[in-house]
Copies of this chain bind each other. A is one copy, B any other.
Amino acid sequence: MAREDGRSPGQIRPVTITRDWLAHAEGSVLVEFGGTKVLCAATVQDSVPRWRRGSGLGWITAEYAMLPRSTNTRTDRESVRGKIGGRTHEISRLIGRSLRACVDYKALGENSIVLDCDVLQADGGTRTAAITGAYVALADAIGWMRKRKMCSGDPLVNSVAAVSVGIVGTTPLLDLCYTEDVAAETDMNVVMTGTGEFVEVQGTAEGVPFDRSTLDALLDLAATGCAELTRLQREALS
């Protein structure tokens, strides 16, 4: 099966990671996975949520949103509807959990970092692009804190990247674009550390349920994708 943009099944899209895209944020990245563009901004706050005060530990949180015309047809604003949808909630929580996996809360001290991931243009894989870009923004924000001696040692204990995989027809594909995502029988998002462990595995049978060997093939593909993204993150940060 040929992919519409000519990639091989195990190939990710062209990825660009542009640091310092915003003037005000302590870390900011415009990350592009092909046609998907996500603006990731890291904000440092010298406080933690109420339930964590006095613990000596920091906190990382994330908020994901899509601009109304990032999508093919316009989507109503959640601010106008007056409530946040289930999908937005779910992805915000996923990004937060993923990034918390590479941070040492003790070294961070009682500080918080908020990662705002706003999708400017969507073409599949917005959540995995967001995680991959937000990691770089987070690294910059922690660098900013370390310069100001806001933390002791290095709070960044690993790196984190994410990629989608799926079965289209019967072929396992890496890094699905929008039309592939819509056509996929099975869709999986995998978040991995720079050292190759899993942080999050979320696989869903959109159509036909899948067996163990399919699952294994998808996990293999995801591992190569995350390794490649890890390499690109390192390159961007060096």
Interface residues of A (CB under 8 A from B): 22-25, 28, 35, 39, 41, 43, 45, 63, 65, 67-72, 74, 77-80, 82-90, 92-93, 97, 101, 114, 116, 118, 120-121, 123, 158, 188, 192-193, 195-205, 208-212, 215, 219
From the candidates B28, B77, B90, B202, name the one contacting A63 in the complex (CB within 8 A).
B77
Q: By the criterion CB–CB under 8 Å, are A205 and B77 in contact?
A: no
Complex contacts, A70 vs chain B, CB 8 Å: 22, 24
A95 → B minimal CB distance (Å): 12
Q: By the criterion CB–CB under 8 Å, are A205 and B101 in contact?
A: yes
Q: By the criterion CB–CB under 8 Å, are A74 and B201 in contact?
A: no
Number of copies: 6
**Residue on B with the closest CB to A205?**
B199
CA–CA, A209 and B23, complex, Å: 34
Complex contacts, A114 vs chain B, CB 8 Å: 68, 74
Q: By the criterion CB–CB under 8 Å, are A67 and B116 in contact?
A: yes
* Chain A to chain B: the 5 pairs with minimum beta-carbon distance, closest first: A197-B209, A86-B89, A41-B69, A78-B79, A79-B79
Q: By the criterion CB–CB under 8 Å, are B90 and A77 in contact?
A: no
Contacts A79-B78, A210-B198, A211-B197 given: A41-B22 contact, CB under 8 Å?
A: no
Q: By the criterion CB–CB under 8 Å, are A200 and B204 in contact?
A: yes
Complex contacts, A87 vs chain B, CB 8 Å: 93
Complex contacts, A205 vs chain B, CB 8 Å: 101, 197-200
Complex contacts, A199 vs chain B, CB 8 Å: 204-205, 209
- Of A65, A97, A209, A215, most B-chain CB atoms within 10 Å: A209
